[in-house]
Amino acid sequence: MKLIFGILFATFSQAFAVDRPIIGILSQEVSSSLNEFGITGTYIASSYVKWVEAAGARAVPIIVNSDQDFTQMFQYLNGLLIPGGAVSLSDSPYSRVGSYFLEQAMIANDQDEHFPIWGTCLGFELLAFLTNNEVRNLASCEANDIALPLNPTENFTNSRVLKEASSEMLEVLATEKVTSNFHHWCLTMENFTKYEMDSFWNVISTNEDINGMEFISMFEAKDYPIYGVQFHPEKNNYEWAPKLESIPHSRNAVKVSNYFADFFVEEARKSTHTFPSREIEEEYLIYNWNPAYTGQEAINYGFQTIYVFPDP
């Protein structure tokens, strides 16, 4: 009976995969600033989970230092979100697992098996690093805790990520400070050209840091459903730390956040990957974990709540 139910569930899930996307989200090592509060292991900021949920998807944590079978996980999931953070791009479980999923996604997409990837901030930087043969290509910059409008490139209006944006949305993105930046490393146009990254990426927008250094703020792969933004769309809706002064919470900033979430989840709806049974699906969903309240005054962390996964 259990086998029959599993077969029926898999058939049902396959038929309705476009309406039941499940996104994997990479965890990363907990900041040392949280260790004094007894918080260790790896984590995912809840804002990323809420961001995909608001667009009609569910989330599964990809716990990078666990015994999860990432080969199976790739087949179960409809897309991957690589979140921002502060870990090594070249030598961390976050980077190694991210590299594996990127490789598998490119293989799958080459075989007409749609699997999208979205990288935010450090995720953007990891995608830039991995697609440059793991050669370092970032420059030190000062773009921390600032909100900016985007500077459009010639690819802005004809990009896939913005093709369904209204003229009003495009105007907001180009004129209002609705993108939240928290990074000290930038991919410059000079390095983009130097490393011939235009063979893989189209640059959609740029920005300047506080010293006038131009950096790439959004790109998309030419031949794959792979997207990266140096800014944090999820923060507009879900992060409220008083010490982070620049996060925009205006009506238009929230619309921008929702637009990007809607786009990425719609990409995930094109994937026919599915869990083999309801039992296995429920085993992995984020609902099995409870978030910790880290934005309270006593801790004063930059994220309001985070999901913590203790070291094995």
Mind telling me the catalytic residues? 121, 232
Handedness of CA 93, 96, 99, 104 (dihedral sign): negative
**Residues 248, 285, 64, CA angle at the centre, nearest 5°?**
80
CA gap 203, 221 in Å, rounded = 9
Within 13 A of 118's CA, how many CA atoms are on the CB side? 26
**Residue with the two structure tokens 């309240």:** 293
Neighbours of 205 (CB within 10 A): 25
Give the strand pairing for 58-62 and 22-26: parallel
Cβ proximity of 192 and 127 under 8 Å: no
* Whether the Cβ atoms of residue 94 and residue 218 lie closer than 8 Å to each other: no
User: Residue 157: in which H helix or E strand, if any?
Assistant: none
Q: Are strands 226-229 and 292-293 parallel, antiparallel or unpaired?
A: unpaired
| E strand residue ranges, 101-250 | 117-120, 139-148, 151-152, 179-186, 201-208, 214-221, 226-229
Residue 140 CA to residue 130 CA, distance in Å, equals 18
In angstroms, rounded to a whole number, what is the distance separating the alpha carbons of residues 212 and 44?
Answer: 32
Does residue 164 come out as left (phi exceeding 0), alpha (psi in the -120 to 50 range) or beta?
alpha
